[in-house]
């Protein structure tokens, strides 16, 4: 089980050197990838021109562009709500950027009340993410929203 309080403290310490979005997101993806078990992708998609563009990540190669409302990431962006998906193959419109991914969680990231990015985490295991993960990752994103300078 992940200790999200400790994870957030580690993240805050990493952000002391810079609050610029690029190094913050790069370190955040590395920290999440190292700290959470059973992942094959941890990273960010950035809102650009009403769509999502691949940002810093750790893991296998990924889709570069995702349309608003498409797949798990695009749905999280469009609905502005966390998507916790135990089986991505049952998600309507799922985009198979990596066929090894079987479960996914995507958390919207805000600035001035608007979604500016999403945190996307994938696992090769079905049902990998719990409500505790959802709560912990949403808390992680809240800290990111306070720290990051877009």
How far apart CA 54 and CA 47 sit, in angstroms, is: 9
Q: Tell me the pLDDT tens digit for each residue of 110-146.
A: 999 999 999 999 999 999 999 999 999 999 999 999 9
- H/E stretch holding 25: helix 21-35
CATH, domain range 4-147: 3.30.450.40
Residue spans of the domains in the chain: they are 4-147
Q: Tell me the pLDDT tens digit for each residue of 48-102.
A: 999 999 999 999 899 999 999 999 999 999 999 999 999 999 998 777 777 789 9
pTM: 0.96
* CB contact set of 39 (below 8 Å; sequence gap of 6+): 32, 33, 59, 121, 122, 123, 128
């Amino acid at each position: 089980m992940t200790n999200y309080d400790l994870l957030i403290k580690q993240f805050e310490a990493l952000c002391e050197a810079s609050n610029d979005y690029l190094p913050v997101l790069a370190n955040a993806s590395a920290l999440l990838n190292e700290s959470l078990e059973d992942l094959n992708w941890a990273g960010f998609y950035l809102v650009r021109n009403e769509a999502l563009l691949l940002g810093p990540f750790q893991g296998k190669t990924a889709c570069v562009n995702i349309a608003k409302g498409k797949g798990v990431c695009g749905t999280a962006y469009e609905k502005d709500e966390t998507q916790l998906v135990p089986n991505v193959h049952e998600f309507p419109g799922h985009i198979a950027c990596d066929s090894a991914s079987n479960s996914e969680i995507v958390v919207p990231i805000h600035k001035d009340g608007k979604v500016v990015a999403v945190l996307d985490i994938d696992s090769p295991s079905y049902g990998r993410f719990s409500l505790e993960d959802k709560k912990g990752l949403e808390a992680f994103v809240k800290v990111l929203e306070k720290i990051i300078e877009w």
